[in-house]
Structure 1
Amino acid sequence: MKASQWTALGLTGALAVTLAACAPNGEGNGGENGGNGASGGDSLSVLIASSGPAEAGYYQEAAARFTEATGTEVEIVVANDLIQQLGQGFAGNNPPDLFYLPWDQFETYASQGFLEPYAGDLANAGDFLPALVEQFSYNDEFYCAPKDFSTLGLQINTEAWEAAGLTDADVPTTWDELATVAEALTDGDQVGLSMGREYARVGVFMNQAGGQLVDGDTVTADTAENAAGLEYLQGLIADGSLVFPPDLEAGWGGEAFGLGRAAMVVEGPWINGAMANDFPDREFISVELPAGPGGPSTYSFATCWGMPIDSDTRDSATAFVEFVTTPEEQLLAAEAFGVIPSTTAGADTYASQFPENAAFVAGVDYAVSPVAFAGAAAAVSEFNTELENIANANPSALLAGLQTNLQSALDSARG
């Protein structure tokens, strides 16, 4: 079962406690090497979170190529629990020299002073997609280089599509068109549309209505635009054309899609591997999400290469980041385990080589990051709980609670 993109956020509160025990900028007990404990000399320790043997294998091979080219030895450490091990490393003043840092953890680390803001000094700093640079910037400074990214798209079961008499001309590009095809695809055996009943999916429709949750230092959750996004989904639910995975006896949207219980779902490129592994006979396409009255919108989920503050191995670590973010290496990674390159040149080439994923690449032009400032996790979790009653709830009431909780969290995060 595919875990929610918000799973890691549940650990943020505990993480803050762990990080509070750390001492950035060389304060505190210090490690064997002093400072932040990053190792010195011609070796690097790189902590990754592997989606499987293909991802770990790629980085082992990339590390070997880097060592051959530079002479710097690289140890690739595959985490069993990335967030826990990363927190423990900082708490013990012995963080890895480089590490995966997911989008939903970035501001927590940056705001507490644990990250080296090295990305703006990279030789290829100008090559990254602008949306990803913004995602991994804090106080207008580009902190860590994006490793890769994914966006949300609309998956369509082509067999069900054809059986409903739909053609390429019917692929939805607007909310009205989405409602029309979702109704046409709904029958006794399947529902037209399904997706996770969570902010990481529902929030996209709020954005497409012209809404947003945060504007600068002000929370804007309780706006008419955000309510319109919820009301649109309520209309689909009332029509019977939108049903959430648990009500289809499925653990997530991809499972409902693979089982043939939903003809369309809202997921990211990870669905390709899920279908290949679990439902190899499912034929489908991915297209861009339809635009709402506020225009197109999708979410971007990305990971960057984090580096501890005042790193002793900054030069070698920077060289490794530059190496693995070349278009050549990013395309090797894409071929190995399906990620989308974070550079403009890499993403363009990827879209040409993997046209089935072109919609995900196109989405980065208008993608936004889900709200993920330090402390937002609890507010989002509460909102997800409230969304269990979205079918009958008053949208304004749902958003009022989110407004209050998010503003309190933002006030605390901003000090």
Structure 2
Amino acid sequence: MRNRRSLVAAIAFIALIIGACGGGAAPSGTLGPLSGDIRISGWSSSPTEDALLQDSINAFMAANPTVKVKWEPIAQDYETVLKTNLAAGTEADVFYADIFWIDSLMKTGKLLALDDLMAKSGVKKDDFVPSLINAFSYQGKTYGIPKDFNTLGLVYNKDLFKAANVAEPTNDWTWNDLSAAAKKLTSGSVVGLSLPADAARFMPFLWQAGGDLNNINNAAGQAAADFYTGFEAKDNVSKLPSELGMGWAGEAFEKGKAAMVFEGGWLPADLNNNFKSVNYGVVQMPKGTAAKSNLIFTVSYSISAKTKNPTAAWALANYLTGSDNQTKVLKAGFALPTRQALSSQITNPNSKAIFDGAPYGKPFNYASANTGKVNDEINKALESIILKKSSTKDALDKLATTIKPLLQ
């Protein structure tokens, strides 16, 4: 889906800007001899990505010839298939777990706590971006190692900014700067901004205003909703993607219908591959009235609590998230690194803007297992305000009542 496209394929634009990268292999520590068969499953995003992962698996097996690893990609409805397999006891030893729904797996004992194995291997939580590794922790235990990640950035059309005589945005932009630019950039069939009725775009604005889901209809929540929806409902400088005849905001940007959008690395990847004539830039999300904030989309390598070979399973997960392999994936252009030591390798301002959103970002599981349901209700409320079917207060009061039991 456009909100949370595959986190790996989403960031292919990094390949254009990564230089020579260093970094040692994941430490082997004192795991001892490894042997046995291991299965690993995840979603299949593209033949190129699958081939890259298989190459990494082959390298792991070459270094550990007594371990046999089988890659089992799941082509469709990954979450449903994985949870069905977990219920039946047929899951792979190692598998992708999305931050969007891993919470329920951690709380129900489906995953192996990795802390003892990490300690034996010399792997520390501090090796990883804190907001990422913490997203896969529960009650002091670690249940996944972040595979890669994404945040949101302000993607803007440089040519449209120049034509409107508007200074390009910076990482220091505020809400006021965004609003002023959107008004100046709106002309004819081009809107300054395309904001969808989408919780995955609105939530950072709620946090930037000092709001939260538990009190979404308080003053901070109303300020955030007024600001977000006001671009269209009040100032007429934004349009829903559907009103522009587009499937998502990124398409509106690609087709020159919107001068600015808030998207992750999937949009630069698509621009670089399919819309090379678009002259674009990316900066961090603007600072709100209370703080900077962002949304983190991330995936882990997790291990089944029922695996019969936890040591070899961990060795594989550790290898795939080690510095050497993350560097290889970076060079291929398929991921943002989760290891802090590799952050210096990202020097291009476009990709760095996406990476630098992590320290002040919050993971995309703010309502735990009910995040999807809460998102649906937020989307309905935003659309009703944008299309002037209800006032901000009425929409948020109704929303607060609806989501309250989902937040328990």
TM range, normalised to the smaller chain? Answer: 0.7 to 0.9
Aligned to 2:12: none
Aligned to 2:356: 362
Aligned to 1:53: 47
Percent identity over the alignment is: 27
Aligned to 1:101: 97
The within-5 A match list for 1:109-258 is 109-119=105-115, 121-122=117-118, 123-126=122-125, 127-168=127-168, 173-213=173-213, 219-237=214-232, 238-258=234-254
Q: Please give the alpha-carbon distance, in whole angstroms, between the structure 1 residues aligned to 2:344 and 2:115.
A: 22
Aligned partner (choices 46, 55, 62) of residue 68 of structure 1: 62
Change (3 A) 1:308 1:344: same
The CA deviation at 1:138 is 1.5
Aligned to 1:405: 402
Secondary structure in structure 2 of the residue aligned to 1:341: coil
Change (3 A) 1:372 1:74: farther
Is 2:329 the partner of 1:330? Answer: no
Secondary structure in structure 1 of the residue aligned to 2:282: strand
The CA deviation at 1:336 is 2.5
Q: Please give the alpha-carbon distance, in whole angstroms, between the structure 2 residues aligned to 1:334 and 1:244.
A: 34
Counterpart amino acid of residue 123 in structure 2? N
Secondary structure in structure 1 of the residue aligned to 2:182: helix
The CA deviation at 1:125 is 2.8
- Per-residue deviation, residues 360-391 of structure 1 (Å, max 9, x unmatched): 11111100123241233223212212322122
Q: Please give the alpha-carbon distance, in whole angstroms, between the structure 1 residues aligned to 2:170 and 2:146.
A: 35
Secondary structure in structure 2 of the residue aligned to 1:146: strand
Counterpart amino acid of residue 158 in structure 2? T
Is 2:391 the partner of 1:394? Answer: yes
- Per-residue deviation, residues 164-209 of structure 1 (Å, max 9, x unmatched): 1123477761000001111111100210011332110011111111
The within-5 A match list for 1:242-321 is 242-321=238-317
Change (3 A) 1:169 1:178: closer
CA contact (8 A) 1:174 1:290 kept: yes
Q: Please give the alpha-carbon distance, in whole angstroms, between the structure 2 residues aligned to 1:134 and 1:404.
A: 30
Counterpart amino acid of residue 254 in structure 1? G
The CA deviation at 1:112 is 1.8
Change (3 A) 1:6 1:271: closer
Counterpart amino acid of residue 199 in structure 2? Y
CA contact (8 A) 2:196 2:249 kept: yes
Q: Please give the alpha-carbon distance, in whole angstroms, between the structure 1 residues aligned to 2:372 and 2:169.
A: 40
CA contact (8 A) 1:104 1:372 kept: no
- Per-residue deviation, residues 122-178 of structure 1 (Å, max 9, x unmatched): 232330111012211122322211111100000011111111112347776100000
The within-5 A match list for 1:14-29 is none
Counterpart amino acid of residue 50 in structure 2? A
Change (3 A) 1:50 1:337: farther
Q: Please give the alpha-carbon distance, in whole angstroms, between the structure 2 residues aligned to 1:169 and 1:387.
A: 26
Q: Please give the alpha-carbon distance, in whole angstroms, between the structure 2 residues aligned to 1:230 and 1:267.
A: 19
CA contact (8 A) 2:367 2:406 kept: no
Aligned to 2:72: 77
- Per-residue deviation, residues 217-251 of structure 1 (Å, max 9, x unmatched): xx332322121111112332221112121111110
- Per-residue deviation, residues 308-362 of structure 1 (Å, max 9, x unmatched): 114212101111111111222112212324321111112332x22x443000111
Matched residue count: 371
The TM-score normalised by the length of structure 2 is 0.86
Q: Please give the alpha-carbon distance, in whole angstroms, between the structure 2 residues aligned to 1:131 and 1:313.
A: 29
Aligned to 1:22: none
Q: Please give the alpha-carbon distance, in whole angstroms, between the structure 1 residues aligned to 2:141 and 2:327.
A: 27
Q: Please give the alpha-carbon distance, in whole angstroms, between the structure 2 residues aligned to 1:290 and 1:342.
A: 23
CA contact (8 A) 1:149 1:340 kept: yes
Is 2:374 the partner of 1:379? Answer: yes
Q: Please give the alpha-carbon distance, in whole angstroms, between the structure 2 residues aligned to 1:95 and 1:186.
A: 51
Q: Please give the alpha-carbon distance, in whole angstroms, between the structure 2 residues aligned to 1:250 and 1:229.
A: 25
Q: Please give the alpha-carbon distance, in whole angstroms, between the structure 2 residues aligned to 1:309 and 1:273.
A: 36
